Structure 1
Amino acid sequence: MKTAIWLYLFMFVAFFDLHAQYPILSPFAISLGAAPSFIGLILGVYSITHLPGNLLAGYGVDKYGSKRFIVSSLIVAGIVLLVQSRVTDPWQLLYIRSVSGFVLAFLSPACLSLLAKIARDNVQQSKLMAGNGLVHTMASVLSPAAGAYLVAKLGFALSFTVLGWILIITGVLAIFGVKERQYTLAAAQLFPPVHGDSNVPALKNQKQAGALDEPVPWLFFVIPLGLSCSQGILFFELPLMKEASGSIMTSGLLFSVVSLGALVTLSMLFINRFSPLLRTTTGCLALALVFFGMSVSWPLPLYVSLFLIGMAKGVIFPAIASLLASVTSANRYGRVFSFLSISYSIGAFIGPIVAGHIRSHTSPYFIAFVGLMLALCMLPLKAFKPVQA
């Protein structure tokens, strides 16, 4: 389990650095003379360049393993931040952000793939994925305030330099902290390869072979796409609501309420004993109902609604990762988790765009509700039959 702790550390640092830049980037771009429309492009290009990086990461992790991608992604991302601290033009910042999005796209599939291989069974896989969600949530709670504090004390340039060196040092530690080979060999036995692959050990029985011959249905990825689209709508709309009062501090508190809700359900480890398919479907349904309630201005206070959204997220995100791991052979974890990251990136890009175009005549939260319900209706339930070791 030492490797799992190392992986959590790497992901925490990466997410911490990423979220710490959220309150920094817009003011930094303004200080460089960027127009509001160009600032939106600077923020959105990260998700765009994430897509080819995720696609390459999936096949690369399956072929070469996770460690080299974890190490290189952290170190190169740190170097990119050091360069970012010296930019003097909005176009330079755009280029740097596009490179950063591509480089960090390799980290999440690599870490999730190795986490899935560490597990001894499907229940432990669920617990490890829940731990990943907990780490991500803690980073998202702590880092925005830390980023704002750094800028207040050190200024933009020095803040990016500090964050960059943190990533580089963490990448160097990954060289010594990640032990991959022993888990790869064990995972090949516990979560066998697809039938007919001569490069990996043979299947234990025909039941496992039949269960793993079929790839994950493409329609499943509509679920993470709809989920991240709804979150993009929330992140766009929340600061514009009257309850936010146009205050950055108030908006930050509202986002923190979402993260606190996620921490509550992520801390309920007994939830991991339930089927990941059940957790995914019920969590998405609950989330959709909350968005519907917000779209019709139900009587619950905004803070309660946001807390419920966070609780649903704390159930859904680990469940999706566990579900994919339970129906995928170990030699294909990288590809599956890269497609998952691609779905999240596309949804995060579409959500704010849709919200910006329809908010004048339709509640964006209603679109989030419709998107989640459509994704649930398209979910191919019969395709998900977890393989037992």
Structure 2
Amino acid sequence: MRAHPIYLLRITGLLDGISLLVLLGIAMPLKYVWGIEQAVTIVGSIHGGIFSLYALTILYAALRVNWSLLWPAAAVAAAFVPFGNFLLDWQLKKAQSRYSIKPFNYGLLVYSIVFFSFFDLFSQLPVMSTFAASIGASSFIVGFVIGLYSLSNTIGNILSGILTDKIGPFKILMAGLLLSSGALLLYQFVEEPSFLIFVRILHGFVAGLIVPAAFTFSANTTKKDEQGKKVAFTGTFVGLAAIIGPAFSGIMASKTSVPFVFTCVATLGLALAILSAIFLSKYKIPKKEAESASVPSSASLFNSGVIKAYSGAFFLMFSQGVIAYLLPLHIQTLGYDSRLSGTLMSTFGIIAVLIFVLPTNRIFDRVASSWTMAIGIGLMGISQLLIGQSTTTLTLYIVLGLYGVGFAFLFPSINTLLIQAVPAELRGKAYGYFYAFFSLGVVAGSSVLGWLSLGITEGFRFTGIVLLLFAVIAVLSRQRKQVLNNG
């Protein structure tokens, strides 16, 4: 008889809780009181490996157990609180008999892969700029290596989209997971800026293979009248990655090292590759979708709906690139460490997830996507203006919360616009270009500010103005379309 997923979650959760207590109660005193540096390195590595296994069992339980997302969220939160896993185990033990095991949901495994891809991205945000500076990179190189990842990611996105339409998503997902995990392990050997540049190019390219294939799979298995809801559900996994990734990397980097953080992410990627090899290799695309893949491509990939979606994707990640580049430096200037950067970046993800899972998600089926896109990008622009003016932790948390509301409005809107504007047989290629614009946005967000040599406050102000201008253009475009339709 197979072990219940909740039982596996309990076992790994207890191991994670024990390793956290050893790290905090034994290894850290040995380092900071008695000067034994290796204690944190060794115990931290063990804890990171156990945490990765724990994260995998959380995902597995979410796939197989009929329970709400509050349980996985509680399991994640418990991992960061001493004795939290033990309190959770007490509740899980009582809950185990109440929840049945459901048939394996292939879609949720794809969502987990989406989670991994964005977890990989968001875990870089609080630490990459300071890591590059720590190995001797100049301010220009710091911005350059952040943007370089996304530049090479663009090529991977486009190639993934083309190949997904030709050979299907499974092989592309497997290649992306395995190669991304390998690239993440290379950060252990980075000691100078030139090698960091090489690793960023490789990492960005192979990571770019994952998301277009995953989103194409999700879009092609979605009913037309459930697109808004399905995209919001997908956004939940992106939001969870935005919550967990920065917090995990910020905290773990302050206790161990940045390369160790990437090793933990690599472990999760390899685990998902194993699950994909076991389960997704058996999944067959529904016949109607398989047949549509052979339909000749006659529709344009650059109609008005697609252009709006691509523009929204670009400016969303332009904003993210600025935050990745400037927020850690802003926090450092204020006298705080990387832990605050990580928790601040997680704040917007928490707010976004709440909007995705609460009844507020109904707005995406009731309001035109063009309007929600404009609202989202406008709120993000206002947030950028306010971040540079915020000097206390309270105001920073409030502003990042407002940013999360904007993200929650924007992300489902641009995905829905794309799905509605592109036929199924072109979605692989469409999503390839879509996430290429995501990547180009990060390149522009981090690199342009480096080239302009703007200060921290000036950089946030510049970004806010750009986003607000795009929001105004989106509103005017929507109104013009309504006038033409009425005429």
TM-score of the two chains, using structure 1 as the length reference:
0.80
- 1:370 maps to 469
**1:100-249 mapped onto 2 (5 Å cutoff):** 100-119=203-222, 121-178=223-280, 182-187=284-289, 199-200=294-295, 213-217=299-303, 219-220=307-308, 221-236=310-325, 238=327, 245-248=334-337, 249=339
Kept after mapping to 2: 8 A contact 1:237/1:355: no
Q: Alpha carbons of 1:160 and 1:253: their partners in 2 closer, same or farther (altered >3 Å)? A: closer
> Where do residues 282-293 of structure 1 align in structure 2 (5 Å cutoff)?
282-288=372-378, 291-292=381-382
Aligned mate of 1:263, from 319, 340, 353: 353
Q: Distance in 2 between matches of 1:293 and 1:372?
A: 13
Indicate conservation of the 8 Å contact 2:246/2:341, yes or no: no
Amino acid at match of 2:467: A
The 2-side partners of 1:377 and 1:161 are apart by 47
Q: Are 2:383 and 2:400, in contact at CA under 8 Å, matched by a contact in 1? A: no
Query: What is the Cα deviation at residue 60 of structure 1?
Result: 0.8
Q: 2:442 aligns with which of 348, 367, 371?
A: 348
Contact 2:314 2:438 (C-alpha < 8 Å) held by counterparts? yes
User: CA, structure 1 residues 178+124, in 2 after alignment: closer, same or farther (shift >3 Å)?
Assistant: farther
Q: In the alignment, does 2:82 pair up with 1:82?
A: no
Secondary structure of the residue aligned to 2:284 is: helix
Structure 1 partner of 2:23 = none
Q: Which has the higher contact order (CA 8 A, sep 6+)?
A: 1
| Structure 1 residue 62 displacement after superposition | 0.6
- Amino acid in the other structure paired with 2:170: K
Decide which moves more: 331-340 or 224-233.
224-233
Deviation at 1:52, TM superposition (A): 1.4
Q: How many angstroms apart in 2 are the aligned matches of 1:140 and 1:166?
A: 16
**Structure 1 stretches lacking a partner, 5+ long:** 194-198, 202-208
Whole-Å Cα distance in 2 between the matches of residues 374 and 250 of structure 1?
35
AA matched with 2:425: N
Amino acid paired to 1:323? L
Give 1 or 2 for the bigger CA radius of gyration. Answer: 2
1:41 partnered with 2:144: yes
RMSD: 3.5
Letter in 1 for 2:196: L
Q: Name 1:99's counterpart in structure 2.
A: 202
Identify which of 51, 54, 62 aligns with 2:165. Answer: 62
1:333 aligns with 2:427: yes
CA distance in 2, matches of 1:224, 1:137: 16
Q: Name the CA shift for 1:292/1:147 in 2 (closer, same or farther; >3 Å).
A: closer
Deviation at residue 230 of structure 1 after TM alignment: 3.5
The answer as to whether partners of 2:377 and 2:470 remain within 8 angstroms in 1 is: no
In structure 2, give the amino acid aligned to 1:124: E
% identity of equivalent residues: 24
Q: 1:227 to 1:100 in 2, by over 3 A?
A: same
Contact 1:75-1:171 at 8 Å conserved across structures: yes
- TM-aligned CA distance change 1:83 to 1:129, over 3 Å: same
Distance 1:125 1:295 in 2: 33
CA deviation vs aligned residue, 1:112-153 (integer Å, no higher than 9, x gap): 00001222x123333332122111111121122222343455
| 2: CA distance, partners of 1:361 / 1:24 | 22
Q: How many residues align?
A: 366
Deviation of 1:94 (Å): 1.1
Q: 1:293 to 1:263 in 2, by over 3 A?
A: closer
Q: Distance in 2 between matches of 1:141 and 1:367?
A: 26
Pairing of 1:266-345 with structure 2 (within 5 A): 266-268=356-358, 271-272=361-362, 274-275=364-365, 278-288=368-378, 291-292=381-382, 295=385, 303-345=397-439
Aligned equivalents of 1:149, 1:238: Cα separation in 2: 16
Counterpart residue type for residue 368 of structure 1: L
Gap change, CA 1:260 and 1:185, over 3 Å in 2: same
Q: Unaligned regions of 5+ residues in structure 2, if any?
A: 1-103
Q: Aligned partner of 2:465: which letter? A: F
- What TM-score comes out, normalization by structure 2 length? 0.65
Counterpart contact for 1:58–1:334, Cα < 8 Å: yes
CA distance 1:272–1:215, shift in 2 (3 Å): farther
CA contact (8 A) 2:370 2:474 kept: no
Three-state SS of the structure 2 residue aligned to 1:23 is coil
Q: State the one-letter code of the partner of 2:468.
A: F
Aligned-partner Cα distance in 2 for 1:321–1:286: 13
Task: Answer whether contact 2:378 2:406 (CA < 8 A) is retained.
Answer: no
Contact preservation (8 Å) 1:76, 1:168: no
Shift of 1:324: 1.4
Equivalent-residue separation in structure 2 for 1:242 and 1:165 (angstroms): 29
Segment of structure 1 superposing worse, 347-356 or 53-62: 347-356
**CA distance change for structure 1 residues 59 and 272 in 2, over 3 Å: closer, same or farther?**
farther
| 1:216–1:328 CA contact under 8 A, matched in 2 | no
Moved more, 148-157 or 339-348: 148-157
Is 1:7 aligned to residue 110 of structure 2?
Answer: yes
Q: 8 Å contact 1:78–1:164 — kept in the other structure?
A: yes
2:196 aligned counterpart, secondary structure: helix
**d(CA) in 2 for partners of 1:30 and 1:296?**
26
Superimposed CA distance per residue, residues 224-248 of structure 1 (whole angstroms, 9 cap, x where no aligned partner): 2233324434555555669983424
Q: In structure 2, what residue type is equivalent to 1:72?
A: A
Residues 269 and 50 from structure 1, CA distance in 2 versus in 1: closer, same or farther, beyond 3 angstroms? farther
Q: Deviations over 1:197-226 (max 9, x none)?
A: xx349xxxxxxx9xx845441632223223
